[in-house]
Amino acid sequence: MVMWDVLVAGRVSQLRRVPRAFAAITAFGGLLIVPALLIAYASASILYGRAIQPVAWVWPVTTVLFALQATYALTRRLVTSLFGVPIFVYNLIIAIVALSRFGISRGFVPPDFGLAFSAAQASALGFFFGAPALWGPAFLMVPLMSPSLPARWRFSRVIRAGIALSAAAVAGLILIEMPNAFQTTKSYAKYSKEQLQEHPDGDFDIGLKVLPDLRGAPPPLALDRDISLVDSLGVDAVSIVIDPEGAKLGPLDSIARAVDDRRADSALVIISLGYPKDAARQFAQSPTDYTKARIADVDRIARRLRPDILIPAVDPYSAGARAIGTQPPEYWIDYLTQAARITHAVNRRIKVGVAASSYGSRDSTLYYWAANQKSPIDVPGFSMMPGFDGATSLDTHMRVAQRWMHSFDAKSKPHWVFSAGGYPIAHGEKSQELAMWGVLAWATSQPQIKGLVVSEAGDYDVSSGLRSANGRYRSAVAALLRAEKGLAENSGQ
């Protein structure tokens, strides 16, 4: 698509018979498309986007140029309607989403139709890419140039037909999702009336997932900003995800200094082991070797960091399934048993946890094993994030989790919600605040649940942080402060 845009822009801008305004818009759009895409991708991360933020407007402006170019070509009949209409609708959707998301990133609330288009685009991309389309900054739709010149060869006509059909299919899928998208963006409103359950004994902790998923030493910028946010919020726990590339002795020494500082402030430390970049390849080559390597990572983390809670695998049936494929519960039970045995051998005080996240039959089997008193797992828990349908799936997950926990009312282990939050870019900042508040209200009403981790501190690998990529605090920060203050007052602290 990018090659098409550049080639069409180059050819159209050189034609003398096309209107000058059309040629200028086309040439300018073709000149901007590559840097605009790079800017859109880089500006979505706190780590890579600091210097890019002043020019983050280039991406929405470029999408508007493409929409104008397609409109001009269609209204002046410079292109056939069979090609021009799909490209016009496709580009218009991209421009609306880009403008809406740029406004969200600057703290503005876009119109309802803008939020709905943003949610609908995420749902449409989720059809191809799965859940990461909700939070991944790399999932951008590339706008298309509308040509004003006839195809020279039969092959060119085939290419044009393919591009038009692709644009029509994607635009059609987004438009089909629009009715559901309006419901999605409004589904969070019910959480605004929820109240937190009092905990006079102070037996409920609120934590924050800090830093990007670490493949090496913590980035100084992220460390400085996140620790400052932790201190401002006064949270009771910090959560860190370490990928296997970062679970080596050198990086762990750097991470240990940050962990020791938090431990000195009496905060609980939760460490989770993620997945390597090439996890699928490693696992396919030798599941046994892959598992042994992860057990060795768990051993090093337990010895060097001595966390209060160690999670040997992040969300086996969501993040784990994306990394190494959906494995039977027996695999995860065997792996977690080995990891718990190693961890407890290093230090009996380290609690081993695991989170349910998909709430299907495999997750159910894993949860019931983990929650059983005979299991070596100390802290079973949940990941509670919205889905493409917003709070609808979140409500379902909370009901399922509650039913599971009630099976162990007599002899229940302490539970945690290891991940809670929302998707401010896809569904709007208010949705993030309300999703977090709704899960907090539910978690505080469940006597088995002893803590909740908000995910996450900033926009690093995913666009779901309390701090946006331009450094601005989102509205969820105020809600988290309110929750911390209310629970502290009720506990008499």
Name the token pair of 67.
């929409």
* pLDDT level of residue 210 (50, 70, 90 thresholds): very high
Residue 164 structure tokens: 């038009």
Of the residues 154, 185, 216, the one at which a domain ends: 185
* pTM exceeds 0.95: no
CA torsion, ordered 201, 203, 204, 208, to nearest 10 deg: 120
Residue among 233, 173, 281 nearest 481 (CA): 233
What is the extent of the structural domain holding 256? Answer: 194-490
Which DSSP symbol is given to 458? B
| Same domain flag for 112 and 171 | yes
Whether residue 179 is found in the same domain as residue 314: no
Domains identified in the chain, total number: 2
Same domain, 164 and 266: no
- Contacts for 405 with CB less than 8 Å, ≥ 6 apart: 371, 412, 415, 446, 448, 449
83 confidence band (pLDDT: 50, 70, 90)? confident
Query: How is 62-97 classified by DSSP, letter by letter?
Result: HHHHHHHHHHHHHHTTSS-HHHHHHHHHHHHHHHHH
SS3 470: coil
Q: Could you tell me how many helices (H) and strands (E) the chain has, helices first?
A: 17, 8
C-alpha count within 13 angstroms, C-beta hemisphere, residue 102: 21
Same domain, 91 and 142: yes
The three-state secondary structure class of 358 is: coil
Shared-domain flag, residues 159 and 252: no
Which of 35, 27, 38 lies closest to 5 in space, CA to CA?
Answer: 27
- Reported as a single tens digit per residue, the pLDDT across 101-118 is 999 999 999 999 999 999
d(CA 312, CA 207): 18
Instruction: Tell me, yes or no, whether 113 and 241 share the same domain.
Output: no
Of the residues 140, 156, 185, the one at which a domain ends: 185
pLDDT in tens, 267-281: 899 999 999 999 999
Closest by alpha carbon to 309, among 417, 227, 196, 234? 417
261 confidence band (pLDDT: 50, 70, 90) = confident
Compute the radius of gyration of the chain from its Cα atoms: 25
Are 77 and 203 part of one and the same domain?
A: no
**Does residue 491 have a pLDDT over 80?**
no
Average pLDDT on 144-156 reads 71
Mean pLDDT of 466-485: 92
Same domain, residue pair 170 and 317: no
Q: Is 57 exposed, middle or buried (0-12, 13-18, 19+ CB in 10 A)?
A: middle
Say whether both 223 and 344 belong to one domain. Answer: yes
Based on the domain organization, do 175 and 207 belong to the same domain? no
Lowest mean pLDDT among 34-48, 150-164, 412-426, 478-492: 150-164
Give the separation between CA 323 and CA 86, rounded to whole angstroms.
35
Which CATH number characterizes residue 352's domain? 3.20.20.80
**Structure confidence by residue, pLDDT tens digits, 372-388:** 999 999 999 999 999 99
Looking at residue 4, its pLDDT comes to: 84
Quick one: 213 and 166 in the same domain?
Answer: no
Domain boundary among 185, 220, 238: 185
Q: What is the pLDDT of residues 387-427, one digit of tens each?
A: 999 999 999 999 999 999 999 877 789 999 999 999 999 99
Residue 26 shares a structural domain with residue 106: yes
- Among the residue ranges 153-167, 186-200, 310-324, the one predicted with the least confidence is 153-167
